[in-house]
């Protein structure tokens, strides 16, 4: 049955026209108000069309709230106008007689007089019934109360450019056809919002307790990144009066990711949130110029087999990311704390203004919740206060002393000339004494505080490794003598070259937090961390400490932990020691790939014999992955082109050739330029993608991205059955939405010979 023949079609088109007309009126009125043409409000109604005559525009004109719409809200209203809503529910509350028909969209709209909803926001409490509720008796929570009712209808709409293209009802016996259509669509260069297709398990994460941190272990393609961004939108909706968007921060894995999410943030109404990468944020917060090696540098050398001593290099990275290293630094920081602690009496000449014992107690006890610098800032104010109070008393005492001397000169010196000279001398002495004291008073506080001024963070960090005895003491019972000295020399050589590794940023940030404190304008009250499996325990701990909040949304996938030599191997320490208040939730379903592609990826991951959860693909079938062998460069290029052509015939636009490493990809790039006219782009770093190009990139660069079709090409460098290689292969496989092709001289180089028969296309 065509949609036009549906019995509700006429009512639905009228409702859409009504809603659009209402929104257009608000937009026109708001624009007039912004242009200060309030006298022409009547003209704002003209041109809307006779079909909208039923709208109560008179009441709209009388409502000044609509005239005062904020510029950001106006922009958002214009953006949603082509698609005012995407769903509806028929809901009868238990305490009401009549059933309500509620339309769900990205904004809230109400009749100004009756406050009856025209559109309800997807983030509103009652909208949860649409995402979580089944037809029948349901309940939802709002403002700490539970409300019950009956859900009799869930309807989805397909609206584009303001036109109703389709609608369908969803119940227990039907699959989510809108989701299926969405998943069957093409990949894009940018992330998009999914408010119309949020699934129950995703919705639970979005709406999980907003007053607790959350950790999400999400399978490849589970939508964890998108869900994290939707949770931010949900958070700001409920805490709009308490939080500004600028107080939230997204820490992205790279700048390409920031570009990738660039479109979805405005769509969700959260575009003013700070977006940064881990390295950029750390450098900004530490506030000192430093050269940081590329975070991929170690990984590339490891993948290429270029590490001189892989065991030691992995150990160094792992140790610098461990809480044991934090313990070592805490000992060092404790020494710095005592160095910066005031001990001496605060004196003005021979007068003791503040007892040193009192100042030490203030520093070590009363102000111990502050950074060392802020403790001394408060002590500085204490000194200034005592100086102001006691300087006058001291000057009064000096005045009395010289008044007495003057009195003695006037009444006890008999000789007139001597008396006169004595008076002059006393006056000069007093003036000189006053001047000296005033001069001393001006610099007394700064002179006292000067030895208590912290050094630069980089200086402190370098001094730790330049002093062999010091490092041996702070590393005692944490490292063996041999480990301690070898690690110290490694760090000493590294810093002597004026370079830092990404693993050094957390220690520097932590030291900065303890000594100076992270400036308020550099902190955030709520933080999203994506690709968290690549963070170390110390990185997460330092962020929590320095930002002075535990309100984190942490999303990642241990199966994609290609930096596991320095990153996370499990969530246990994070949930127990770093974010103990957190909710831990999992996303097992993959919405990206077909069942056939996911079967291959799961089978590959199982080669590691580790306890990774099996990913459950949503019921969407496609062709099995294909395998082609080749001999020689011409046959290789022909195989790639054949896979590209086959993918395009299936409607795939965004196609990526994924090689194991940068060295392999450089070879593939040259071969494709030599043997084809296909426009190709080599992506060795995280940089913008050129549309219409065949993309060639290493496996580790592809992480976090998705493509219509993926060609995993093995020309020279094979994959071995190691943790890193298997994870890289798994990452590459799970980038594909619809088509996956594998090209290699033989199956062994892609570990395919170890997999069961029938998993690949014959």
Tens of pLDDT, residues 501-531? 999 999 999 999 999 999 999 999 999 999 9
> What is the model's pLDDT at position 32?
76
- Given a cut of 70, whether residue 67 has pLDDT beyond it is no
Span 99-104, average pLDDT: 96
Q: How far is CA 512 from CA 334, 457, 537, in A?
A: 13, 6, 18
> What is the model's pLDDT at position 61?
47
What pLDDT band is residue 305 in, cutting at 50, 70 and 90? confident
- Higher pLDDT: 34 or 700? It is 700
The answer to whether 567 is annotated as binding is no
What pLDDT band is residue 564 in, cutting at 50, 70 and 90? confident
What pLDDT band is residue 73 in, cutting at 50, 70 and 90? confident
The answer to whether residues 725 and 590 touch, using CB atoms and an 8 Å cutoff, is no
Q: Ranked by mean pLDDT, which of 175-189, 258-272, 458-472, 559-573 comes out on top?
A: 458-472
* Alpha-carbon gap, residue 555 to 234, rounded angstroms: 16
Lowest mean pLDDT segment, chosen from 24-28, 226-230, 394-398, 540-544: 394-398
The answer to whether residues 655 and 649 touch, using CB atoms and an 8 Å cutoff, is no
Lowest mean pLDDT segment, chosen from 318-322, 487-491, 616-620: 616-620
Lowest mean pLDDT segment, chosen from 59-73, 135-149, 712-726: 59-73
Span 468-491, average pLDDT: 97
Mean of pLDDT over the chain:
88
- Given a cut of 60, whether residue 336 has pLDDT beyond it is yes
What pLDDT band is residue 187 in, cutting at 50, 70 and 90? low
Span 198-223, average pLDDT: 93
> What is the model's pLDDT at position 530?
94
> What is the model's pLDDT at position 50?
46
User: Could you give the percent of the chain with pLDDT greater than 90?
Assistant: 65
Burial class (CB in 10 A: 0-12, 13-18, 19+), 443: exposed
Span 433-461, average pLDDT: 91
> What is the model's pLDDT at position 235?
93
* Alpha-carbon gap, residue 376 to 706, rounded angstroms: 51
The answer to whether 582 is annotated as binding is no
> What is the model's pLDDT at position 269?
75
What pLDDT band is residue 40 in, cutting at 50, 70 and 90? very low
Token pair for 437: 């004291």
* Nearest partner of 540 among 560, 566, 517, 516, judged by Cα: 566
What pLDDT band is residue 171 in, cutting at 50, 70 and 90? confident
Span 139-149, average pLDDT: 91
The answer to whether 220 is annotated as binding is yes
208-339+455-587 and 595-754 share one fold? yes
All residues at 6 or more sequence positions from 640 whose CB lies less than 8 Å from its CB, including other chains: 657, 668, 672, 676, 711, 713, 743
> What is the model's pLDDT at position 757?
87
Q: Tell me the Cα Rg of the chain.
A: 34
The answer to whether 225 is annotated as binding is yes
The answer to whether residues 596 and 625 touch, using CB atoms and an 8 Å cutoff, is yes
For the chain, which residues make up each domain, given as ranges? Answer: 3-183, 208-339+455-587, 341-452, 595-754
Q: Find where tokens 């619809």 sit.
A: 738
- Given a cut of 60, whether residue 39 has pLDDT beyond it is no
What pLDDT band is residue 312 in, cutting at 50, 70 and 90? very high
> What is the model's pLDDT at position 186?
64
- Given a cut of 80, whether residue 433 has pLDDT beyond it is no
Instruction: Give the chain's end-to-end CA distance (angstroms, integer).
Output: 39
The answer to whether 546 is annotated as binding is no
- Where does 413-456 have alpha helices with state H? 416-449
What pLDDT band is residue 480 in, cutting at 50, 70 and 90? very high
The answer to whether the predicted template modeling score (pTM) of the entire model surpasses 0.85 is yes
- Higher pLDDT: 115 or 319? It is 319
- Given a cut of 80, whether residue 133 has pLDDT beyond it is no
Lowest mean pLDDT segment, chosen from 25-29, 320-324, 474-478, 547-551: 25-29
* Nearest partner of 254 among 2, 530, 667, 54, judged by Cα: 530
> What is the model's pLDDT at position 34?
64
Tens of pLDDT, residues 567-591? 899 999 999 999 999 999 999 999 8
The answer to whether 639 is annotated as binding is no
Span 168-195, average pLDDT: 65
For the chain, give me the number of helices (H) and strands (E)?
A: 28, 25
Fold of 595-754: Rossmann fold (3.40.50)
The answer to whether 734 is annotated as binding is no
Span 553-567, average pLDDT: 92
Tens of pLDDT, residues 342-388? 999 999 888 899 999 999 999 999 999 999 999 999 999 999 999 98
- Given a cut of 60, whether residue 37 has pLDDT beyond it is no
In the CATH scheme, what architecture does the domain 208-339+455-587 have? 3-Layer(aba) Sandwich (3.40)
- Given a cut of 60, whether residue 172 has pLDDT beyond it is no
Lowest mean pLDDT segment, chosen from 92-101, 366-375, 433-442: 433-442
Tens of pLDDT, residues 742-761? 999 999 999 999 998 889 99
What pLDDT band is residue 287 in, cutting at 50, 70 and 90? very high
> What is the model's pLDDT at position 314?
93
What pLDDT band is residue 165 in, cutting at 50, 70 and 90? very high
Burial class (CB in 10 A: 0-12, 13-18, 19+), 62: exposed
> What is the model's pLDDT at position 189?
54
Helix %, strand %, coil % of the chain (to 5): 50, 15, 35
Span 533-553, average pLDDT: 97
> What is the model's pLDDT at position 174?
52
- Given a cut of 90, whether residue 402 has pLDDT beyond it is no
All residues at 6 or more sequence positions from 300 whose CB lies less than 8 Å from its CB, including other chains: 306, 661, 662, 698, 700
> What is the model's pLDDT at position 185?
63
Give me the phi and psi of 327, to 5 degrees please: -60, -40
The answer to whether 545 is annotated as binding is no
Tens of pLDDT, residues 235-286? 998 998 888 888 999 999 888 788 878 777 877 877 789 999 999 999 999 9
Lowest mean pLDDT segment, chosen from 432-436, 468-472, 507-511, 678-682: 432-436
Span 636-662, average pLDDT: 96
- Higher pLDDT: 421 or 475? It is 475
* Alpha-carbon gap, residue 497 to 63, rounded angstroms: 67
What pLDDT band is residue 613 in, cutting at 50, 70 and 90? confident
């Amino acid at each position: 049955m065509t949609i036009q023949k549906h019995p509700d079609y006429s009512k639905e088109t009228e409702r859409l026209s009504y809603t659009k007309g209402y929104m257009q009126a608000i937009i026109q009125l708001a624009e007039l108000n912004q242009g200060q043409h309030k006298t022409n409000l009547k003209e704002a109604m003209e041109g809307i069309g006779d079909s909208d005559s039923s709208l109560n525009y008179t009441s709209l004109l009388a409502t000044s709230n609509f005239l005062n719409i904020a510029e950001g809200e106006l922009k958002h209203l214009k953006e949603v106008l082509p698609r005012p809503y995407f769903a509806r529910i028929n809901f009868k509350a238990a305490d009401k007689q009549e059933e309500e028909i509620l339309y769900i969209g990205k904004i809230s709209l109400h009749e100004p007089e009756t406050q009856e909803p025209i559109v309800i926001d997807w983030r509103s409490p009652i909208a949860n019934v649409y995402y979580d509720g089944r037809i029948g008796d349901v309940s939802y929570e709002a403002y700490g109360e539970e409300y019950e009712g009956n859900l009799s209808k869930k309807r989805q709409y397909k609206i584009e450019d303001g036109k109703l293209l389709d609608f369908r009802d969803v119940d227990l016996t039907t699959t989510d056809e809108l989701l299926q259509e969405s998943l069957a669509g093409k990949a894009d260069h940018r992330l998009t919002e999914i408010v119309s297709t949020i699934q129950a398990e995703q919705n639970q994460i979005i709406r999980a307790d907003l007053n607790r941190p959350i950790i999400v272990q999400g399978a490849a393609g589970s939508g964890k990144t998108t869900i994290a961004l939707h949770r931010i939108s949900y958070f700001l909706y409920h805490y709009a009066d308490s939080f500004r968007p600028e107080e939230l921060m997204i820490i992205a894995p790279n700048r390409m990711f920031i570009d990738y999410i660039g479109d979805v943030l405005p769509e969700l109404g959260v575009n003013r949130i700070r977006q940064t990468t881990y390295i950029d944020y750390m450098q900004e917060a530490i506030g000192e110029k430093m050269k940081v090696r590329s975070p991929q540098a170690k990984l590339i050398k490891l993948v290429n087999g270029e590490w001189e001593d892989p065991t030691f290099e992995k150990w160094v990275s792992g140790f610098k990311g461990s809480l044991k290293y934090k313990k070592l630094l805490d000992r060092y920081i404790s020494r710095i704390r005592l160095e910066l602690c005031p001990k001496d009496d605060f004196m003005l000449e021979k007068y003791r203004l503040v007892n040193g014992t009192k100042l030490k107690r203030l520093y070590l006890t009363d102000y111990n919740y502050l950074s060392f610098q802020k403790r001394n800032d408060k002590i500085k104010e204490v000194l200034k206060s005592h100086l102001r109070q006691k300087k006058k008393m001291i000057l009064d005492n000096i005045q009395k002393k010289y008044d007495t001397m003057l009195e003695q000169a006037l009444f006890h010196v008999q000789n007139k000339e001597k008396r006169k000279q004595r008076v002059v001398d006393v006056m000069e002495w007093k003036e000189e004494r006053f001047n000296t004291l005033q001069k001393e008073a001006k610099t007394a506080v700064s002179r006292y505080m000067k030895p208590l001024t912290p050094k630069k963070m980089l200086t402190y960090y370098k001094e730790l490794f330049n002093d062999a005895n010091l490092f041996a003491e702070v590393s005692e019972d944490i490292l063996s003598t041999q480990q301690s000295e070898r690690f110290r020399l490694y760090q000493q050589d590294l810093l002597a070259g004026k370079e830092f590794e990404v693993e050094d940023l957390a220690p520097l940030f932590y030291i900065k937090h303890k000594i100076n404190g992270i400036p308020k304008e550099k902190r955030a009250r709520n933080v999203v961390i994506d690709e968290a499996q690549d963070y170390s325990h110390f990185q997460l701990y330092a962020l929590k400490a320095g930002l002075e909040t535990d309100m984190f949304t942490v999303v990642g996938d241990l199966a994609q932990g290609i930096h596991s030599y320095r990153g996370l191997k499990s969530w246990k320490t994070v949930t127990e020691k770093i974010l103990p208040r957190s909710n831990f939730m999992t996303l097992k379903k993959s919405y990206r790939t077909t069942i056939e592609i996911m079967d291959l990826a799961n089978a590959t991951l199982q080669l590691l014999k580790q306890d990774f959860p099996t990913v459950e693909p949503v019921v969407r079938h496609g062709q099995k992955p294909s395998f082609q062998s080749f001999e020689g460069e011409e046959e290789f290029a022909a195989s790639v082109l054949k896979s590209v052509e086959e993918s395009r015939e299936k409607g795939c636009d965004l196609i990526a050739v994924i090689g194991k490493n940068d060295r392999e990809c450089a070879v593939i790039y040259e071969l494709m330029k030599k043997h084809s006219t296909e426009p190709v782009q080599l992506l060795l770093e995280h940089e913008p993608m050129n549309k219409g190009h065949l993309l060639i990139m290493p496996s580790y660069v592809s992480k976090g991205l998705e493509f219509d079709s993926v060609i995993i090409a093995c020309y020279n460098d094979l994959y071995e059955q190691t943790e890193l290689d298997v994870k890289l292969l798994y990452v590459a496989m799970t980038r594909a939405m619809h088509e996956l092709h594998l090209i290699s001289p033989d199956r062994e180089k892609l570990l395919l010979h170890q997999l069961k028969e029938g998993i690949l296309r014959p």
